[in-house]
Amino acid sequence: LGDVGHGIPGTVDLVEYLGGEQMVFVTLAGSETRVTIKLSSVTDLRCGAVVGVQIDPQNFHLFGPAGRAINLL
C-alpha cells in the first residue's frame, strides 16, 4: 500500500489487527473489486482512507468468486 497517486487507487474498508501484522481490505476505485492485503508491520490506516494499491507480481494470490485459487501459470 502506498499514497494516492502510486498504484491503483482504492478505499480502505476494514483493518484487522493480528498482533504484529494487519489484514487490510480495500475496494478499488471505480469498481466493486475488493482486495485483501497482508501487511507485516502495523500501520495507522483507518477505514475510509484513500490509498494506492501496488501489486508485487512475485508475491500475490488470486481467488475466484467461489473462493478457489486461480493459477496463472
Each of the 73 residues of the chain gets a pLDDT tens digit; together they read 666 667 889 999 999 988 888 999 999 998 888 888 888 877 788 899 999 988 887 878 788 888 888 877 6
Threshold 0.85, pTM exceeds? no
Classify 47 as helix, strand or coil.
Answer: coil
pLDDT of residue 56: 80
Task: Name the residue type at position 26.
Answer: V
> CA 10, CA 52: separation in Å to the nearest integer?
6
